[in-house]
Amino acid sequence: MSDTKFTPRVFSGIQPTNHLQLGNYLGAVKRFVEMQNSGVETIYCIVDLHAITVWQDPADLTHATRELAASYIASGLDPAKSILFNQSQVAEHAQLGWIFNCVARMGWMNRMTQFKDKAGKDREKASVGLFSYPTLMAADILLYHTTHVPVGEDQKQHLELTRDIAMKFNNDFGVDFFPLTEPVIEGVATRIMSLRDGTKKMSKSDPSDMSRINMTDDADTIAKKIRKAKTDPDPLPEALEGLDDRPEARNLVNIYAALAEKPAEDVIAEFAGQQFGTFKPALAELAVEKLAPISSEMDRLMQDPAEIDRILAQGAARAREIAAPILAKTYEIIGMVR
Ligand code: TYM
């Protein structure tokens, strides 16, 4: 159930680290475009402040920020319909993030699995920012009184924390100020898995480039990665349940379904009994057909970085118009002298 006091508003973000991969596209960006085109107000951010929770080379960060903006636009996000901007241009994110550092409890933060995964064995060397990452994410969302956040499955815990923060803030100050935001984790592509290991999610940071399809890969690379994707020796089953213990096969079927915009059942019906020798080339052809236009449009947009910067600056100005009064009201609720 959505919070009815608040008008529907969608916000989501992606980190500008490495190239966008197919999981980000199918699990996030493609959904962003659908929501934009459904007519609801949409705000999509490039979360550069989150990116620096782990080391980023400055020139690479600049490039990745522009490239992600180019992927947004090439995938169908329209700066006239959606607000597109990079987080660091709207200082209110960091300001509200600080306040939420004072709302969130250490016990909640200590349960965040992403910190444990990302910090790895040597937690003492992780940045403080990596630990408090989820409070900044809550700020991103609540700064706009966001009602819905489209994300992949891996962000679920962060969205729960965002609701806990909103609830505690509202309770502590006796207000009904921040909404209880709904995660939107829907469709076949909420968890696209690695092409090399069907039990690991596809990720920008996997050391093996063969584990993922990057949005910048050319047609030959995409075809090669799909051809080499790990599978099992059996043909595709007659029904979806036949994929239950076959994570790699299930993943390729899900990717096909998401790209073709069909239910996975229909894909199984179409390929039942066929070998991967038939299915993989069909998948590669579909992937190239859907992704090649996006990557060539990205290339075109990247020829004009000044235009990308202009779009981001304009988006940031529009974002600030929404964010500034909400932050001002937050300070007032807390009792800060303004
Ligand atoms: P990030 O940059 O890791 O990923 C961006 C989006 O892509 C989704 N995703 C996937 N979906 C399906 N299959 C996969 N293999 C896969 N890999 C990634 C993620 O779930 C995400 O939706 N913390 C966020 C960024 C963020 C944010 C926010 C998101 C910061 N502030 C506010 C929403 C709202 C992150 O690291 O995403």
For residue 9, the cross-strand partners are 41
Counting the structural domains of the chain, the total is: 2
Task: Check whether residue 18 and residue 139 sit in a common domain.
Answer: yes
316: CATH: 3.40.50.620
Domain assignment present for residue 47? The answer is yes
Q: Would you call 230 a catalytic residue per the annotation?
A: no
Q: Is residue 115 pLDDT above 50, yes or no?
A: yes
**Token pair recorded at residue 200:** 């690991």
Q: Which atom of ligand 1 is nearest to the CA of 137?
A: 31
Task: Check whether residue 179 and residue 253 sit in a common domain.
Answer: no
Task: Check whether residue 85 and residue 217 sit in a common domain.
Answer: no
- pLDDT tens track for 240-281: 999 999 999 999 999 999 999 999 999 999 999 999 999 999
Give the DSSP per-residue string, 221-290. HHHHHHHHS---SSPP-SSGGGGTT-HHHHHHHHHHHHHHTS-HHHHHHHHTT--HHHHHHHHHHHHHHH
Closest among 40, 42, 44, 49 to 16, alpha carbons compared:
49
Q: What is the pLDDT of residue 5?
A: 87
Task: Check whether residue 289 and residue 312 sit in a common domain.
Answer: no
Task: Check whether residue 27 and residue 167 sit in a common domain.
Answer: yes
pTM attached to this predicted model: 0.97
Task: Check whether residue 272 and residue 294 sit in a common domain.
Answer: yes
Which residue has the least CA distance to atom 31 on ligand 1?
A: 137
Closest among 40, 17, 64, 65 to 149, alpha carbons compared:
40
Q: Can you give the residue range of the structural domain that contains 255?
A: 209-299
Which residue has the least CA distance to atom 24 on ligand 1?
A: 14
Closest among 45, 51, 49 to 10, alpha carbons compared:
45
Percent of the chain whose pLDDT exceeds 70? 99
Domain assignment present for residue 201? The answer is no
Domain assignment present for residue 3? The answer is no
Domain assignment present for residue 106? The answer is yes
Domain assignment present for residue 198? The answer is no
Q: Would you call 5 a catalytic residue per the annotation?
A: no
Task: Check whether residue 81 and residue 160 sit in a common domain.
Answer: yes
Task: Check whether residue 163 and residue 290 sit in a common domain.
Answer: no
Task: Check whether residue 169 and residue 267 sit in a common domain.
Answer: no
CA of 23 to the centre of ligand 1 (A): 9
Domain assignment present for residue 275? The answer is yes
Domain assignment present for residue 260? The answer is yes
Predicted confidence band of residue 75 (pLDDT cuts 50, 70, 90): very high
CA of 337 to the centre of ligand 1 (A): 36
Q: What is the pLDDT of residue 99?
A: 98
Task: Check whether residue 158 and residue 30 sit in a common domain.
Answer: yes
Q: What is the pLDDT of residue 191?
A: 97
- pLDDT tens track for 153-189: 999 999 999 999 999 999 999 999 999 999 999 999 9
Q: Would you call 204 a catalytic residue per the annotation?
A: yes
Q: Which atom of ligand 1 is nearest to the CA of 189?
A: 12
281: CATH: 1.10.240.10
Domain assignment present for residue 196? The answer is no
CA of 189 to the centre of ligand 1 (A): 12
Task: Check whether residue 150 and residue 21 sit in a common domain.
Answer: yes
Task: Check whether residue 236 and residue 259 sit in a common domain.
Answer: yes
**Token pair recorded at residue 5:** 């006091």
- Pick the catalytic residue: 81, 156, 168, 204? 204
